[in-house]
Amino acid sequence: MKNVIEAKGLKKIYKMSKTNIVHALNGVDLNVEEGEFTAIIGPSGSGKSTLMHIFGLLDKPDEGTLIIDGIDMSDLKDKEAYKLRAKKIGFVFQGFNLIPALSALENIMLAGKYGGMKMSERKQRAIELLKLVGLESRMNHKPNELSGGQQQRVAIARALMNKPAIILADEPTGELDTKTSLEIIELMKKLNREDKQTFLLVTHNMEVAKDCNKIVEMRDGKRVS
């Protein structure tokens, strides 16, 4: 099996002042195989989001190596990282992070633009994805005209737009009620089962974590399992 993520010895330090240094990541190794659905659990402040930001090329580690979809990130220039991020990585955040002035359809199409998709292909693919997440009838709605669960479905469709190697979901149901949360998780599980989409999911919910392929547990910037 191919690894989508190969991380070794990742360290991240935040220097707040000369005496206040936070070791957000303290030597983390992690491999994610293609087609896997991996859950990351751990208390608040244990380094989960820092790890997701590094995997998502939004931030760089201070030490360690990271290979994503076969490409070594160590000496990647910012511009190359930006391109790679748009093409290879889908993000789903707790706060949805849709652009308020754009419709559901336009939010999804914009990801295609960043990923280098031809203009003529963007609309058709975005509509297909809206169908896939069950929101075809809401394509012209702006984010504030959609419920939280619907916004997260749009965010999932946006994350899928460029057929990413992996989708990184950082507490994607943190702002949703229990029923909607389960629907969103079920949608991600379905995409994993049926389309072999690889997921890395940060969750507080042990019920959700326990039927994932792998559970990674973080504590104080380290993996404890």
Ligand X SMILES: Nc1ncnc2c1ncn2[C@@H]1O[C@H](COP(=O)(O)OP(=O)(O)O)[C@@H](O)[C@H]1O
**Residue 46 interacts with, from ligand X, Mg ion, none (CB under 5-8 Å by kind):** ligand X
Whole-angstrom Cα distance, residue 199 to residue 208? Answer: 13
Residue 24 CB, nearest approach to ligand X (Å): 3
Region of 86 on the Ramachandran plot (φ > 0 left; ψ -120 to 50 alpha; else beta): alpha
Name residues contacting ligand X, limited to 44-83 (CB under 6 A): 44-50
Q: Which two tokens stand for residue 17?
A: 């002042």
Q: Does 107 bind Mg ion (CB under 5 A)?
A: no
Residue nearest to Mg ion (CB): 49
Q: Does 49 bind Mg ion (CB under 5 A)?
A: yes
Whole-angstrom Cα distance, residue 71 to residue 196? Answer: 21
- For residue 16, the tally of other CB atoms under 10 A from its CB is 8
**Number of amino acids touching ligand X (CB under 6 A):** 11
- For residue 222, the tally of other CB atoms under 10 A from its CB is 16
For Mg ion, the closer CB: 142 or 204 = 204
Residue 92 CB, nearest approach to ligand X (Å): 15
- Please provide residue 66's backbone torsions phi and psi, each rounded to the nearest 5 degrees: -140, 120
For ligand X, the closer CB: 135 or 208 = 208
Q: Does 46 bind Mg ion (CB under 5 A)?
A: no
For ligand X, the closer CB: 22 or 110 = 22
83 exposure class (CB count in 10 Å sphere: 0-12, 13-18, 19+): middle
Q: Which stretch, 38-46, 69-77, 78-86, 107-115, contacts ligand X (CB under 6 A)? A: 38-46
Region of 116 on the Ramachandran plot (φ > 0 left; ψ -120 to 50 alpha; else beta): left
Residue 41 CB, nearest approach to Mg ion (Å): 11
Residues that bind Mg ion (CB under 5 A): 48-49
Residues that bind ligand X (CB under 6 A): 14, 22, 24, 42, 44-50
